Amino acid sequence: MLWQWYRIVLDHTKKDFLLIRQFLSKAFLDYGDVSLAKEISSQQQGTIQSIILSWIKADETFYETEACRISLKRLESEGNVTIVGAPGDGKTAIGIHLALEYYQRGYKIYNAHSVHDIMKSHKNSCPQIFLIDDPIGVHVMDDEKVRAWVSYNTEIQAFIQNGGTKLIATVRKNIMNTCQQQINKTILVKNQVDLTMVHCSTREKEGILLQQAGGKINKDDVKHMIEPKYYPAFPLLCHFIVNGSKHISNYSARQQPTSVIYNFIDELTNTHRFHYCALVIVAMHDGKFDQQILDDLEDRRKLCKIIELCGLDCSPSSLFNLGKSFDEMLGIYLTEAKLGVEFLHDRIYSAVVYHFGSRHLNFLWKNCSSVFIRDMIRSENASLSGDWSNEDESNLVVRVKEQNYESFAKRITDDLKNGNVVDVFLNPSLQDERFQIVLADQLLELPISELKNLLCLIPHNTFKEKSTRQGKTSLDFGVLTSSPFHWICKLGLHKLFTAVLGKMPDREIFVRNIPGHTGPLHFAAGFGHLEIVKSLVELGVDVNSRSKLECDDNSVGAYYPSFTPIFYAVRQNHLEVADFLLKSGANPDLVRDHGASPMLLAADKGHHRMIKILLDYSADPNICCSHGTSPLFIASQEGHKDAVRVLMEGGAIIDYQNIQKKGLAPLHIAVKNGHYNTSKTLLDKGADPNLPDSEGNTPLHFAVSNGKGDIAKLLLVYGGDPNLPNKRNETPKYLSSERIGLNDSFSAEDSTILYKR
């Protein structure tokens, strides 16, 4: 493979025909010549078919487990499945197996890389199955991808519900846990199969190992290699035990997977140095390597430096042997990508990075991308995100020792200067207080004017065109389009905050004039960093300043424009922060342009202790938004009985009727939604059980119509009249007879009780 690239270096007139086809296809489409574009793009179908053929070959060693069978049932009955697990647990292998099952049924397979791929490729004219790995992030949560799934969720669900479309997603468990709240209403959280819970039995582990071995291991020797309990990445470990070494007996499936992979990588430095060098080349190009890099002089220099650090030279014969090494490692360490090669699995990528990077930190600082630094480099004291706390997991990143913090801080500073703000602050190393101190020292070496400009710098590639504005409803998105100083406040980096402001003689003016749609105080309040909130308020930041963040206006609980800091603290239930802001003059009744108050947000989320704090500062519990929704109404709608109780104790109007919602009162909506305890709380405080809405329906009408027999009985106890007619002259008693035999909780016995009244 590399020998081909070497020839390209020698002959700059040669071009990659696949790239030319792709470019021309897009160009003709842009200019409207669809027929010619189709003719050119059709030549790429062979590439897609080759991917499917490689999947079929890989699937020959697949062993079907109970988790796979459960996933198939979910896919058949619900139309989608999300396979969750640790890296190396076999998520993708199961996904490929399921996709190939539907391929045999006549479905067209799409290996999607983003939700946008699904939107572009979906067709109603033919059955399709989409397989997407890591849709919301690999090493860290990808905020932009999360927003995209939230934005397009309705369309994706419609595709599946209409039939003919299936979706398989594979998600790392630590990533799923990190963004559970953000995606809790998307299709990705539905129909999950968690491989850490539905893990392999001993029999299944034996089957996986024997299937992958294909006769290389004696069946009698397998049992001593199997550990019954779950630990991550067993299928990947089997792959390496079978394919990674000639000395299978030296390794056991009871060993931690990362340490085994690392040992294989280390073994290559002695036995197959060209193989090792090829893996390092791929790793140092963010896990993917293609011939386009040779078009850039700096990349060619980087390539030669890697070869040199691996103990080789750049002679034609070395490059030829290196090219052969790429081909020889396909299927074991590497797999073919569209324009080159990539790692077979992220754990291999991580192990190679750890092995090479730990020995050559200076090379990493000078040559690797900001994305690479974000994902693969950690300060010594930085915590790792994820569910697995064993030592093995910590080997997946390069740990920078404290004596090297200064060089790390210099690289981080350079990334900030280059506008890679998001990559810098998504690195958990920034949470390491010792590293914060070193980074602060590095920043303080800058002249005051340069430091100010750096702290106010808006990051690259965050302002998108109008077509991608959907879903911009969260404070998380707000920080993606904000400055380093906003990030410092968002993450609560107090030592860095104190250090950089301490150098500024005009710090009060600086913090009050930070550019951006949302102030630093909003971020500090929204993420609960009390000390930074106090410092900003002491420096004179307005506690009632409004956010100018633009977003979709589609739900009460979203992060809206014109929010003041107290809104964010209330929304996230940061009690101490809210109390301090209110004590410092925050107006609890200052509504946003939609008319929603902080009290409404607290009620929507059921934050009853927050409601009590707001009431203690004389907040009005009856302010309605422009839709006529009161705090008590929305708390009743969501079934937050404690919030309902506190609101009524604080003076909320119990039977206030929302004219814009057909005269519904809190009790109507609580009954309609089946919230028994909330309904009882309202009735205990004096809610009228016979209050009619604008169509004459009483709470008892709603209980009967919605099959809530237990609540109907409750209403009767509190004086509900089953003989009151609505405007259609229907009484609850009449409606009860209509419900007998329906499949809900309203029984014939319930109807009889009403008839006795």
Tell me, what CATH number does 579's domain have? Answer: 1.25.40.20
Rounded to an integer, the average pLDDT of 308-318 is 90
Q: Which of residues 129 and 89 earns the better pLDDT score?
A: 129
CA distance 416 to 162: 47
CB 229 within 8 A of CB 195: no
What is the model's pLDDT at position 247? 40
Going from the C-alpha of 291 to that of each of 3, 278, 320, the distances in angstroms are 11, 13, 15
Half-sphere exposure of 342 (CA within 13 A, CB side): 9
What is the model's pLDDT at position 43? 45
In a domain, 512, yes or no: yes
* 435 and 303 within one domain: yes
* 332 and 389 within one domain: yes
Going from the C-alpha of 276 to that of each of 269, 280, 287, 361, 556, the distances in angstroms are 6, 6, 14, 18, 55
pLDDT of 248 strictly over 70: no
**Residue 336 DSSP one-character state:** E
What is the model's pLDDT at position 271? 85
> Listing from the earlier edge strand, what are the strands of the sheet with 165-172?
108-112, 128-133, 165-172, 80-85, 192-194
In a domain, 598, yes or no: no
CATH code for the domain of 118? 3.40.50.300
Taking the CA atoms of 23, 28, 30 and 34 in sequence, report the sign of the dihedral they define: negative
**Residue 384 DSSP one-character state:** P
Rounded to an integer, the average pLDDT of 180-197 is 85
pTM metric for this prediction = 0.72
Rounded to an integer, the average pLDDT of 99-103 is 91
Output the CA torsion 363→369→371→376 (10° steps).
-10
Q: Which of 682, 651, 650 is nearest to 669 (CA)?
A: 682
What is the model's pLDDT at position 466? 34
Q: Can you tell me whether residue 176 is helix, strand or coil?
A: helix
What is the model's pLDDT at position 478? 67
In a domain, 752, yes or no: no
In a domain, 239, yes or no: yes
Strands 340-343 and 288-290: antiparallel
pLDDT of 665 strictly over 60: yes
Q: Minimum mean pLDDT among 417-426, 591-600, 704-713: which range? A: 591-600
Q: What are 73-100's pLDDT values in tens digits? A: 999 999 999 999 887 788 988 999 999 9
What is the model's pLDDT at position 8? 40
Number of folded domains in the chain? 5
What is the model's pLDDT at position 557? 40
What is the model's pLDDT at position 3? 43
What is the model's pLDDT at position 19? 41
Segment holding 274, helix H or strand E: helix 273-283
pLDDT of 455 strictly over 70: yes
* 386 and 317 within one domain: yes
Q: Minimum mean pLDDT among 8-22, 33-47, 625-639: which range? A: 8-22
What is the model's pLDDT at position 703? 93
Q: Which of 270, 265, 284 is nearest to 333 (CA)?
A: 265
* 241 and 175 within one domain: no
Q: Minimum mean pLDDT among 381-390, 414-423, 487-496: which range? A: 381-390
CA distance 742 to 750: 13
CA distance 576 to 528: 8
CB 628 within 8 A of CB 658: yes
Q: Which of residues 565 and 125 earns the better pLDDT score?
A: 565
* 238 and 113 within one domain: no
DSSP assignment of 508-519:
HHHHHT--SSS-
Spell out the residues 6+ positions from residue 189 whose beta carbon is closer than 8 angstroms to its own: 82, 176, 180, 183
CA distance 307 to 317: 13
Strands 80-85 and 340-343: unpaired
Q: Can you tell me whether residue 396 is helix, strand or coil?
A: coil
Q: Count the neighbouring beta carbons within 10 Å of the beta carbon of residue 494.
A: 16
**Residue 616 DSSP one-character state:** H
Q: Minimum mean pLDDT among 209-218, 476-485, 546-555, 676-685: which range? A: 546-555
Q: Can you tell me whether residue 705 is helix, strand or coil?
A: helix
What is the model's pLDDT at position 753? 57
What is the model's pLDDT at position 449? 92
- Domain-terminating residue out of 428, 443, 458: 443
Residue that has been written with the tokens 């039995």 in this structure: 201
Q: Minimum mean pLDDT among 262-276, 367-381, 734-748: which range? A: 734-748
* 178 and 94 within one domain: yes
Q: Can you tell me whether residue 80 is helix, strand or coil?
A: strand
What is the model's pLDDT at position 462? 45
Read off the amino acid at residue 335: T
pLDDT of 1 strictly over 50: no
Spell out the residues 6+ positions from residue 193 whose beta carbon is closer than 8 angstroms to its own: 67, 70, 71, 74, 81, 82, 83, 84
In a domain, 136, yes or no: yes
CA distance 233 to 664: 54
- Domain-terminating residue out of 568, 587, 606: 587
Q: Which of residues 234 and 706 earns the better pLDDT score?
A: 706
What is the model's pLDDT at position 743? 38
pLDDT of 456 strictly over 80: yes
Spell out the residues 6+ positions from residue 530 whose beta carbon is closer than 8 angstroms to its own: 574, 576, 577, 580
CA distance 274 to 79: 46
pLDDT of 558 strictly over 50: no
Residue that has been written with the tokens 């799409």 in this structure: 110
In a domain, 123, yes or no: yes
CB 21 within 8 A of CB 29: no
CB 131 within 8 A of CB 103: no
Mean pLDDT value across the chain: 81
Token output for 6:
């070497």
pLDDT band at 154 (very low <50, low <70, confident <90, very high): confident
SS3 content of the chain, % helix, strand, coil (to 5): 55, 5, 40
Q: Which of 75, 124, 114 is nearest to 95 (CA)?
A: 75
pLDDT of 63 strictly over 60: yes
* 278 and 362 within one domain: yes
CA distance 5 to 319: 9
* 25 and 92 within one domain: no
What is the model's pLDDT at position 752? 55
Q: Which of 312, 311, 397 is nearest to 358 (CA)?
A: 397
Which ranges constitute the DSSP H helices of 60-186? Answer: 66-78, 91-104, 115-121, 143-161, 173-178
Q: Minimum mean pLDDT among 47-61, 320-334, 634-648, 734-748: which range? A: 734-748
Provide Rg for the chain, Cα atoms.
30
Q: What are 382-411's pLDDT values in tens digits? A: 875 443 333 344 447 899 999 999 999 999
* 436 and 458 within one domain: no
pLDDT of 536 strictly over 50: yes
Q: Which residues of 648-682 are buried (b: 16+ CB within 10 A; e: fewer)?
A: bebebebeebbeebebbbbbbbbbbbbbbebbbbb
* 510 and 371 within one domain: no
Q: Which of residues 45 and 466 earns the better pLDDT score?
A: 45
CA distance 646 to 668: 19
What is the model's pLDDT at position 227? 66
Q: What are phi and psi of 142, to 5 degrees?
A: -100, 105
In a domain, 379, yes or no: yes
How many Å is the maximal CA-CA distance in the chain? Answer: 98
pLDDT band at 454 (very low <50, low <70, confident <90, very high): very high
Q: Which of 367, 479, 361, 495 is nearest to 425 (CA)?
A: 479
CA distance 576 to 295: 56
CA distance 364 to 400: 11
CA distance 687 to 276: 74
Nearest-5° Cα angle at 330, 338 to 173: 75
In a domain, 706, yes or no: no
CB 86 within 8 A of CB 232: yes
What is the model's pLDDT at position 399? 92
Residue that has been written with the tokens 């890099």 in this structure: 293
Helices (H) and strands (E) in the chain, counts: 42, 10
Residue that has been written with the tokens 């931690």 in this structure: 256
Rounded to an integer, the average pLDDT of 727-750 is 67
Range of the domain at 78: 61-194
* 432 and 289 within one domain: yes
* 235 and 302 within one domain: no
Rounded to an integer, the average pLDDT of 365-372 is 92
Residue that has been written with the tokens 């938004």 in this structure: 625
**Residue 79 DSSP one-character state:** S
Residue that has been written with the tokens 């956010």 in this structure: 547
What is the model's pLDDT at position 561? 66
